[in-house]
A and B are shown apart, each in its own frame.
Chain A
């Protein structure tokens, strides 16, 4: 059992707060760290990996501090987001070097290469590898010492669907074996397919934590906002607000439009055209105003 504890961790760079008072515990199994780009995921992972000191708070692995503690790397495998990885070596040489740095021999390297199914290309220079192959060799280098904690920063970036599936299978297997696996992603579907448990980070804050299905429901059940322009905004507003699927309407004089908040998504989408037709109002613009991932996340923060 390996547990990574993040305790009231903050990190700022000058005046910018990247991570703001986050507390979470990552246990065995696969955990997804979800958040939009720039939310502080990488900063958080760097602190978990001991590459960055928290400005305040502590990161510990089974009670041992991670920062300035080289011995901790016997238990941690890291797959960094960055591409650079001694391109002048072959895949085999690279994984072997990683094994040797752990005090292990060629057998460990070979085993790790087999785990990621990269033996067929192990004698080629890394410089000639595709993105997915690089990712797998990085995985092999992280697995070479059989770590109990695996940290992966955006591991699926730039992978094609088949490579993505292979890596997901591998991570699932690692989780099933009782390892603590944490990966970051800004893509909802990736996390949904893989993680048993998710932690959501938005704008440096810990927005949500728990079972994926629960969080997913929060995301789809949230109120939807629409921007609507019509031939008679006020008449349309009066007619719509009479229905319970609409919870609020605002007249926006600057935009010359209505901002409508709908609580029942399905009902509202059939209500709007019907009401317009019944009242002889022409709809000029109907656009969802907050479908971006960021707004989904910020809704979660407020929830």
Chain B
């Protein structure tokens, strides 16, 4: 199910100079914000929750997910170099699964690690807030990577759709229409974080059971479907 060569090619494509810069920019911004907030207001649990929930989990994690998830396969399909993977005796679902693992790993490293660091800077993990949001970022990384990998497999405009989902649906629509929150990776991962933090600061609109089921279903279904789409992927001719 996992092909180390496919993984190596995907890592190198994802962590190429330009993309690595984009991936590194947001985490750096988060840490700068954390340092500034801590310096200006001192350690405060509510502020830590606001920064980690409002910026790290709501904005940074999905955007990193979009870049890593769509970037793990989209550019190869766009420029046609995916033909070198497809013309090999390797099961197409293996290619997708391997790319998913890579996308998850990259999303986790570029989102969960800086979340943890920012949390420690903001309030020194008081009330387990840093750990709770780090766990949320880890969980969200899996679902986002799977969703955006599928998007990268089926659409040439995956980055645009991904950003629209991440920013409009998760951030804007979710804050206006309560029902939309049930169908939000962010809320599902918050349900897990709520359990970790235990206090009243980290809350989710979705129950833990529902959240877990939805996370698993979305991740598995997206990965399976991406594998099927790759099996019948039509490489457009030059004509």
Contact = CB atoms under 8 A, between A and B. Distances in A.
Nearest to A77: B87
Contacts of A102: 88-89
B75 to A, nearest CB: 9
Contacts of A37: 239
Contacts of B200: none
Interface residues of A, number: 36
A88 B3 contact: no
B117 to A, nearest CB: 29
Contact of A73 (B9, B13, B88): B88
Interface residues of B, number: 30
13 contacts: A18-B239, A42-B237, A49-B87, A52-B235, A70-B91, A73-B88, A76-B87, A80-B83, A82-B83, A82-B238, A86-B81, A97-B9, A101-B6
B81 A84 contact: yes
Given A18-B239, A97-B8, A100-B5, A84 B87 contact: no
A243 B83 CA distance: 58
A81 to B, nearest CB: 6
Given A50-B87, A84-B80, 17 more contacts: A37-B239, A38-B239, A43-B237, A46-B235, A52-B237, A70-B91, A73-B87, A73-B89, A78-B83, A82-B238, A86-B13, A89-B12, A98-B88, A101-B5, A101-B84, A102-B89, A141-B84
B88 A84 contact: no
B231 interface: yes
B91 A84 contact: no
A86 B237 contact: no
Contacts of A76: 87
Interface string A60-73: 00000000101111
B22 to A, nearest CB: 16
Contacts of B89: 70-74, 102-103
A82 B79 contact: yes
B181 interface: no
A59 B235 CA distance: 17
Interface of A: 18, 37-38, 40-43, 46, 49-53, 68, 70-74, 76, 78, 80-82, 84-86, 88-89, 97-98, 100-103, 141
Interface of B: 3-6, 8-9, 12-13, 16, 79-81, 83-92, 231-235, 237-239
A97 B234 contact: no
B238 A101 contact: no
B81 A85 contact: yes
A43 B239 contact: yes
B90 A88 contact: no
A71 B89 CA distance: 5
Given A51-B86, A68-B232, A101-B3, A82 B239 contact: no
A82 B80 contact: yes
Contacts of A49: 87
A59 to B, nearest CB: 14
